[in-house]
Amino acid sequence: MASRPTMEDVAARAGVSRALVSLVMRGAPNVSQARRDAVFKAAEELGYSPHAMARSLASRTSTVLGVMVSDLHNPFFAEVVDGLEAVARKEGFELIINTGRRTPAGERQAVRSLLSFRPAGLALLGPAVAAAEIEAAADQVPVVLVARATRLGSVDTVNDDGRAGSELAVDHLVELGHRRIVHFDGGRGSQSALRRRGYLDGMKKHGLAASVIRSEYTDVAGAKAVKTLLERDEPLPTGIVAANDINAIGAISALEEAGLRVPEDVSVIGYDNTSLAALAHVGMTTVDQPRHAMGRLAAQAVLERVRNGRTEPVRHLLHPKVVHRHTTAPPPAAQ
C-alpha cells in the first residue's frame, strides 16, 4: 500500500510541468498531441489517478451529492437512491450517503456531516428533521426534498401525489361498476392523510357515500379491517381501496379466509406497486409510485441549480398510475 503517485511525479516522468499534466487530465484544448500522449503514457506507467478531494479543494467545486436517507432499510428509499445514483453518475457526480436513523437528531447530525464535505448539493429523502435545519442547509447548498413537502422557497421538492393516486384508485373501481367502496387508511403513517383525502374526493366526485376504516400499513391491520367490515350490519362493500400493498395483501387473505373470492366477490386495489404486488400468484392491482423516477428528478433538480444557477424552486408532484392486474373486476351484480 505504497503512497500513490501525484501529478508532480507524472510531470517529472513526462518531462513537463505539473500545470500541463493538470490540463491534460482535465481534457483541456490547446495542448499539443505530443505532450498529451507523453503525459498519458507517464500516468499509465505510474498508475496515476487524480485525487478527487485535492481537485475539489483547489477548484472550489464539488462532484459529490450528499444524500440523507431517513431509512435506507426501506425499499422505497433504496429505489429512490438508485434513481438518484443513475443521474448523478451520468453527470459525473458521486453520492455520499448518510442515514438519519429515523430520528430528527440523527438526521440533523447526518446533514451536518454531509455538509462538512461541501457537496455540490443535498438530497433529503423522507426527512423528519426541522424546517429550520433544512433552511440552514439550503443557505449553503442546493437542497431537494423527496417525500416531504415544505413552504421554503429555497428548496426543491419531489413528491408523489398521494391524493391523486387514491382518487385514481376510486376512479378505477367506479369505472368497473363499483359503488360501495371503502377505504382502509394508513393511520398515522406518512402520506396516509393525503391518500384518505384522495379517496374522499374521489367518492364525492362520483356522488358516492364514503366510508373510511382506520387501519395501518401492515398486513395484520388489513386483515383486521376486513373483520371489522364483516361484523358490521351493513351490506359488504364490493371494492376496497387499501392503504398500501401490504395492507391490501392482509385484506385479501382475510377475505379469502372468510370464503369470499377476490376479485369475483370483492375487488381490492393496493398502493405503491411493491414487488409483492407483482408476484404472479398475487397479481395485485395497485397504484404505482414511480420511485426511480422520483430519484432521477431529485438529482436533476439539484444539478440544475448547480449548473444553471436556477433559484426559483421546483415542485415535482408525480402523477401515480393504476397498474391493472387481477384483484379488481366488475362487482358481482349490477347495483
Partner DNA sequence: CGTCACGATTAGAGCGCTCTAATAGCACTC
Partner DNA sequence: GAGTGCTATTAGAGCGCTCTAATCGTGACG
C-alpha cell at 335: 347495483
Q: Which of 2, 60, 233, 235 touches DNA by CB under 7 A?
A: 60
Q: Is 123 in the site for DNA (CB under 7 A)?
A: no
Q: Is 57 in the site for DNA (CB under 7 A)?
A: yes
C-alpha cell at 251: 385484506
Q: Is 25 in the site for DNA (CB under 7 A)?
A: yes
Q: Which of 1, 2, 27, 29 touches DNA by CB under 7 A?
A: 29
Alpha carbon distances (Å) from 285 to 53, 263, 269: 48, 10, 5
| Site residues (vs a second copy, CB under 8 A) | 1, 4, 49-54, 56-57, 64, 72-73, 75, 78-79, 81-82, 85, 89, 94-99, 101, 112-118, 139-141, 218-220, 223, 246, 249-250, 253-254, 276, 279-281
Least distance to a second copy, CB of residue 96, Å: 5
- Among residues 16 and 84, whose Cβ is nearest to DNA? 16
Contact status, residue 147 vs residue 161, Cβ threshold 8 Å: no
Q: Which of 1, 2, 27, 32 touches DNA by CB under 7 A?
A: 32
- Among residues 33 and 308, whose Cβ is nearest to DNA? 33
Alpha carbon distances (Å) from 217 to 73, 119, 323: 16, 35, 19
Least distance to DNA, CB of residue 12, Å: 11
Q: Where are the beta strands (DSSP E) in 171-288?
A: 181-184, 212-213, 239-241, 267-272, 286-288
Contact status, residue 67 vs residue 97, Cβ threshold 8 Å: yes
- Among residues 11 and 243, whose Cβ is nearest to DNA? 11
Q: Which of 12, 50, 74, 211 touches DNA by CB under 7 A?
A: 50
Which one, of 159, 157, 181, 158, lies nearest residue 169 by Cα? Answer: 181
Question: Which of DNA, a second copy, none does residue 299 bind to, with CB < 5 to 8 Å depending on kind?
Answer: none
Least distance to a second copy, CB of residue 175, Å: 29
Compute the Cα dihedral for 147, 118, 71, 85 and give only its sign: positive
Q: Is 59 in the site for DNA (CB under 7 A)?
A: yes
Q: Is 26 in the site for DNA (CB under 7 A)?
A: yes
- Among residues 30 and 311, whose Cβ is nearest to DNA? 30
- Among residues 120 and 164, whose Cβ is nearest to DNA? 120
Element (H, E) at 132: helix 131-140
Least distance to DNA, CB of residue 31, Å: 4
By CB under 7 A, the count of residues binding DNA is: 28
Q: Which of 61, 103, 113, 140 touches DNA by CB under 7 A?
A: 61
Contact status, residue 120 vs residue 306, Cβ threshold 8 Å: yes
The C-alpha atoms of residue 170 and residue 186 are separated, in whole angstroms, by 16
Q: Is 58 in the site for DNA (CB under 7 A)?
A: yes
The C-alpha atoms of residue 245 and residue 28 are separated, in whole angstroms, by 53
Where in 280-299 is the site for DNA (CB under 7 A)? none
Crossing angle of helices 33-46 and 18-25, rounded to 10°: 90
Q: What is the DSSP string of 260-273?
A: --TTTT-EEEEEE-
- Among residues 139 and 233, whose Cβ is nearest to DNA? 139
Q: Which of 13, 20, 84, 238 touches DNA by CB under 7 A?
A: 20
The C-alpha atoms of residue 184 and residue 244 are separated, in whole angstroms, by 9
